[in-house]
Amino acid sequence: MEEQALTPTEITQGTNPTVEQQLEQSGQLAVKTAKELTISSQDDYEKAGKYLVGIKTRTKQIQDYWKGPKDAAHAAHKAVVDREKQMLAPLKEAEKIIKGTMLNYQAAVEKARREQEEAARRQQQQEVDRLINQAAEAGAAGDAQGEAIGMAMAEMVNDMPATAQMDTPSAAGTSVRKSWKARVTDAATVPAYFNGLEIRTINMAALNNIAKMTKGSAVIPGIEFYLDSQISARPY
């Protein structure tokens, strides 16, 4: 099971094909050995643990081998990303300002439209009331036909939609998407379900804490606590 470890100098040489081949071959050999490994005694168990530690050591060797190139690539990538962000920052700020201004205009137009519609509804109601009063006067005067015509006209005016003649703001190349969203204002009062939909998610972090505190003895409907076992190893 023993493998010859590479020296730090060999490992830090960067992209050395010879070293890479050794490291890659050691990984393939590790899989072959792991598949053939059997444990039937304490001595076998100790040998398995020793080989596991060797695998972690070889894992660290591979990580150390690629650390230099990875650090250099990361630094180069970070420099490019930082420069890109620097150039994009003023454009994003300008975009945010313009979008805010456009949305404010849309809100102003929408407010004016609502005000016009409300004014139209009030005017419509005034006309309906006038026609009803006129019809009532005709009925009081014995003019049944005039009363019927007045009531029919009042009903017709009442059924007419009160709309505002305003165009929706638009600009070529732009679009507006509107969607209703939710905001939590008091988490304590949010119910678990609404119309059959679960709106409180299961808090796994809390459940795991309960498992630790009670050592799995807690009883919660729909929840099973179990003891998870994992083996770890440290490189030499």
**pLDDT single digits (tens) 188-234:** 888 888 788 777 788 898 899 999 999 999 998 889 999 988 777 67
**Residue 7 above 70 pLDDT?**
no
Size (the chain), residues: 236
Q: Which of 57, 50, 68 is nearest to 5 (CA)?
A: 57
Report residue 15's pLDDT band, with 50, 70 and 90 as the boundaries.
low
Question: CA–CA separation, 80 vs 89, rounded Å?
Answer: 14
Question: CA–CA separation, 124 vs 99, rounded Å?
Answer: 37
Q: Is residue 220 part of a domain?
A: no
- Retrieve residue 56's tokens: 């972690």
For residue 25, the model assigns a pLDDT of 86
Question: CA–CA separation, 73 vs 65, rounded Å?
Answer: 14
Q: Is residue 150 part of a domain?
A: yes
Q: Is residue 233 part of a domain?
A: no
For residue 211, the model assigns a pLDDT of 93
Q: What is the mean pLDDT of the chain?
A: 86
Q: Is residue 73 part of a domain?
A: yes
Q: How many domains does the chain have?
A: 1
Average pLDDT over residues 55-61: 89
- Residue ranges of alpha helices (H) inside the chain are 8-11, 17-36, 42-140, 144-159, 204-214
Average pLDDT over residues 159-168: 79
Q: Is residue 2 part of a domain?
A: no
Q: Tell me the three state secondary structure of residue 203.
A: coil
- Retrieve residue 162's tokens: 């009160």
- Retrieve residue 193's tokens: 């379900």
Q: How far out from the chain centre does Cα 212 lie?
A: 29
Q: Is residue 227 part of a domain?
A: no
Q: Is residue 226 part of a domain?
A: no
**pLDDT single digits (tens) 78-91:** 999 999 999 999 99
Report residue 11's pLDDT band, with 50, 70 and 90 as the boundaries.
very low
Residue 97: which domain range?
8-165+191-214
Q: Is residue 92 part of a domain?
A: yes
pTM of the model: 0.56
